[in-house]
Structure 1
Amino acid sequence: MPRPAPMTFGVFIAPFHANDDSPTLSLRHDLALIELADRLGFDEAWVGEHHSTGVERIADPFMALAAAAVRTSRIRLGTGVVSLPYHHPLLVADRTVLLDHLSMGRAMLGVGPGALISDADMMGIAPVTQRARMNEALDVIIKLLDGETVTASTDWFELREAQLAFLPLSPAGVPIAVASTTSPSGVTTAGRHGVGVLSLSAGFIGGKKDMRAQWDIAEQAAKEAGTTISRDGWRMVVRVHLAEDREQAVRDVERGRAEERENYFKPVLGLENDYTLADEIADDSSIIGTPADAIAAIERMLDTTGGFGGFMIMTHDWASREKSLTSLELFARYVMPHFQGTLTAAQRSARVVTEKRPSYKPLAQAAISKAYSDSGRELPAGTNIQSLR
Structure 2
Amino acid sequence: MSASHHPTDFGVFMAPFHKIGVSPTVLFERDLAIIEMADRLGFQEAWLGEHHSGGHEPIGSPELMLAAVARTTRTIKLGTAVNSLPYHNPFLLAERLVTLDHLTHGRAMMGFGPGQLVSDAHMLGIDPATQRDRMLEAADVIMRLLRGETVTETTDWYDLHDAKLQLRPYTVPELDVVVAAVTSPSGPVTAGRLGIGMINLSASSPAAFEALRKHWGIAEKEAAGHGRSVDRKKWRLSAITHIAETEEQARRDCTYGFEEIWNYLAHISPLPASDKPDVEGMIDDAIASGAILIGTPDTAIELIRKLADQTGGFGSFVMTLTDFTTFDRQKRAVELFAEYVIPEFRGQLRPLREHNAWVRDNEWKTQTMAAITAASEKYHQRTATSH
TM-score of the alignment, normalized to the shorter chain, above 0.5: yes
Alignment deviations for residues 295-340 of structure 1 (CA, whole Å, 9 cap, x no partner)? 1221122112221110001010001111110111010011100001
User: How far apart, in 2, do the equivalents of 1:246 and 1:136 lie?
Assistant: 45
- RMSD over aligned CA atoms reads 2.2
User: How far apart, in 1, do the equivalents of 2:273 and 2:309 lie?
Assistant: 27
User: How far apart, in 2, do the equivalents of 1:205 and 1:216 lie?
Assistant: 19
Q: Compute the displacement of 1:214 (Å).
A: 2.4
Which shows bigger deviation, 274-283 or 323-332?
274-283
Alignment deviations for residues 118-157 of structure 1 (CA, whole Å, 9 cap, x no partner)? 1111111111111111111111111111112122222221
Contact 1:4 1:232 in 2 (8 A): no
Contact 1:284 1:297 in 2 (8 A): no
Alignment deviations for residues 59-107 of structure 1 (CA, whole Å, 9 cap, x no partner)? 0111111111112111111111101111111101100110011111111
Q: Which residue of 2 aligns with 1:152?
A: 153
Q: 1:100 to 1:273 in 2, by over 3 A?
A: same
Q: 2:238 matched to 1:237?
A: yes
Q: 1:333 to 1:269 in 2, by over 3 A?
A: closer
Contact 1:187 1:197 in 2 (8 A): yes
Counterpart residue identity of residue 132, structure 2: R
User: How far apart, in 1, do the equivalents of 2:325 and 2:368 lie?
Assistant: 52
Contact 1:9 1:44 in 2 (8 A): yes
Q: Which residue of 2 aligns with 1:304?
A: 310
TM-score by length of 2: 0.91
Q: Which residue of 2 aligns with 1:115?
A: 116
Counterpart residue identity of residue 156, structure 1: W
Q: Compute the displacement of 1:207 (Å).
A: 7.0
2:329 to 323, 334, 351: 323
After TM superposition, list the pairs within 5 Å mapping 1:14-33 onto structure 2: 14-33=15-34
SS across alignment from 2:125: coil
Identity %: 46
Q: Compute the displacement of 1:267 (Å).
A: 5.3
Q: Which residue of 2 aligns with 1:365?
A: 369
1:351 to 344, 357, 360: 357
Q: Which residue of 2 aligns with 1:44?
A: 45
User: How far apart, in 1, do the equivalents of 2:69 and 2:210 lie?
Assistant: 32
SS across alignment from 2:17: coil
Q: Compute the displacement of 1:205 (Å).
A: 9.4
TM-score by length of 1: 0.90
Q: Which residue of 2 aligns with 1:34?
A: 35
After TM superposition, list the pairs within 5 Å mapping 1:1-389 onto structure 2: 2-4=3-5, 7-204=8-205, 208-262=209-263, 264-266=264-266, 273-274=273-274, 276-282=282-288, 284-355=290-361, 357-358=362-363, 360-376=364-380
Contact 1:150 1:161 in 2 (8 A): yes
SS across alignment from 1:201: coil
Which shows bigger deviation, 223-232 or 30-39?
223-232
SS across alignment from 1:244: coil
SS across alignment from 2:33: helix
Q: 1:177 to 1:271 in 2, by over 3 A?
A: closer
Q: Compute the displacement of 1:344 (Å).
A: 2.6
Q: Compute the displacement of 1:288 (Å).
A: 1.4
User: How far apart, in 2, do the equivalents of 1:189 and 1:274 lie?
Assistant: 33
Contact 1:207 1:280 in 2 (8 A): no
User: How far apart, in 1, do the equivalents of 2:211 and 2:270 lie?
Assistant: 22
Q: Compute the displacement of 1:347 (Å).
A: 1.8
User: How far apart, in 1, do the equivalents of 2:183 and 2:162 lie?
Assistant: 36
How many residue pairs match? The answer is 375
SS across alignment from 1:210: helix
Q: Which residue of 1 aligns with 2:279?
A: none
Q: Which residue of 2 aligns with 1:386?
A: none
Contact 1:180 1:198 in 2 (8 A): yes
Q: 1:184 to 1:115 in 2, by over 3 A?
A: same
Gapped regions of structure 1 (runs ≥ 5): 379-389
User: How far apart, in 2, do the equivalents of 1:107 and 1:302 lie?
Assistant: 26
Gapped regions of structure 2 (runs ≥ 5): 276-281, 383-387
Counterpart residue identity of residue 369, structure 2: Q
Q: Which residue of 2 aligns with 1:385?
A: none
